[in-house]
Structure 1
Amino acid sequence: MTNQTLNLTHGSRGPVNTKVAAVLRESGIGLALLALVVVFSVLSPVFLSAGNLTNIFTQISINVIVAVGMTFVILVGGIDLSVGSVMAFCAVVAGTVLKMEGLSESHAIILAVAASITVGALCGLVNGAISSFWAVPSFIVTLGMLNIARGAALQWTEARTIYEFPDVFNDFGNATVAGMPAIFLVALALVALGWFVLNRTVYGRLIYAVGNNEEAVRLAGHPVRFIKITAFVIAGVTVGIGAIIYMTRLTIASPILGIGFELNAIAAVIIGGTSLNGGKGSIIGTLLGACIIGVLANGLILLGMSDFLRQMVTGGVIILAVILDVLRQRLARQGK
């Protein structure tokens, strides 16, 4: 890797200042999460109970998984609006495999997981390839994929829900390890893997570099298209994993599942401090952003707030996060 690309990754202030800024940004998000926890624990004595905390971890697991992949896409300056529909398509394909006759339970589960991840990766590949090779905004491409994948899921099942999966498959959705939901541990494992890729590999450096200055990365001799396409493929893979987790939780594969999931994932990434313009952000911030959304939703339910008001509050938090992102960029430009 050239020095030019390395400099792009960290910006003109140098790697040390950028790392300090990232730590401060994540600390601020962590403090906001802690403040929410304190407020809801005071307002509701049930909030900090073991059962409720387990519910929160369970509820945010799928969003964390999908948001990990979304982080890669947004870091390269893209967006993926198709993740909810692609998840439905992945689920119905995996559900069909699970119901195939002549397969042992273990083989059916392995093939179903592989099928779900493959479908997600292929959808991500299409999104990334069209966006990169034809210079079509990813917003438009993934909006089209949103409709294609949803229609494919409905056509695949003839608008029917698939159910009656093997017990060992369904049991995973409710399993715990050392008191923690197993599905949340899967989400944490993906967060750890995503953090390692972005912070300890050349590919991760290039992800940030493309988001900061795509043309300079191209002039430095690096395959910009490959980097952007693989970011969408990673997002598709996480959607495929999320589909399997969803199926283990609800024990069904529905062609209408995942509606609104793209908004929750994008919200987690943006609230977590990742810039919509790309090049700045972190997986840890995404995890904290997903936790904020989960804690906020859970706390408001305990306080008896209606679904409609909760949607309004969540929308307000997203707008506030975007405003803070704009302010951060202005301050960064002024500090140069």
Structure 2
Amino acid sequence: MLDLPSPIINYLHSLTFENRSPAYLLVDKNGCLSEWGGKLAAYGITNLQKGQYVTEQLFFLEGLLPGDDFPIFLPCIKTEYGRCADLHILPADEGDWVLLLDATLEEIQHSLIQQQGNDLSLLRQEQARILNQYLGRDIPEDLAPDLFKLHERGERKDVTILFAHIWGLSAYSEEHPPEVVFRMLNLCFTNTLQQILDEAGLVDKIVGDLVTAFFGVVPASGSSRDRAVKAALRMIEAVRDIGKISGVNHGSKLDISIGIASGPVALGILGGRLHRTFNAIGYHVNLAARLESQARPSEILIDENTFNQTGNILQQNFAPASLLLQGIADPIRIYSWLVT
């Protein structure tokens, strides 16, 4: 026997027995119930008959008895009464001892892990759907599990958030038939999403003419701040090129404005059983949206966190400015790059 201090023995006793509703059965060599005790009522087991076949009284033991010559452990066995138990079968001269220990907590944890795994699978499928739709690639829906480094139950993570708004599409839609408008939309999104992906960004949402993306969620080398700014610059250039190639004119000039903010956000999956989506929540998500709403066409607005952690070469293109946010008394420092 291990020589353990009393506090540890007491803790192990409490952990293993007191909190797990221990109950037992003794089944003789003929398969008949000869003895029982403990907290059987916790498993819905009542009105047992001594000398009767145990499998006629407890169907969840069907096929498990008689046991072998060595102990058997079966985790999370659900009884016909709906309670989950860890089942231990211990052979002895007098028959087979059956020990039940409550496994409800383990069952709940397993269900949560399974659901969280399903949630991450949904995230990967949604990302694949977006890429397939706009890039026309044959991307498997079961993207590599290592692609998204999120803890299953959600986590707080330092990321860079990008909001982008494509200007001119509303005016363009009034001047052209729907099929031409959507062809232009797809052309814009195909090219702008490619710039995000090339910088290891995670495309979050596409709503109308607005795109949201995160940098620092998908594993990649280099600073997420630098990659977001580089993606923003290339998005502006891509939209301009589309406007030139497509011959957009008559006042419906295509352009794009971008807001970027960096900092800790809560990442996870929200929703009910029928609809679950990836979400990021926090001050910096709202700040990126506000920056985009204040940005002019061809302008990139970034917050101070992003600026301070961006490389010197990129920093040289930004000019300091300030922005007054609702609910905050003093203006916040931001930085602007009007791409010419």
- Which TM-score bucket, shorter chain as reference? under 0.3
The structure in which a higher percent of residues are strand is 2
The one of the two structures with greater contact order (alpha-carbon pairs below 8 A, sep at least 6) is 1
Rg larger in 1 or in 2?
Answer: 2
TM-score, normalised to structure 2, is: 0.26
TM-score, normalised to structure 1, is: 0.26
The structure in which a higher percent of residues are helix is 1
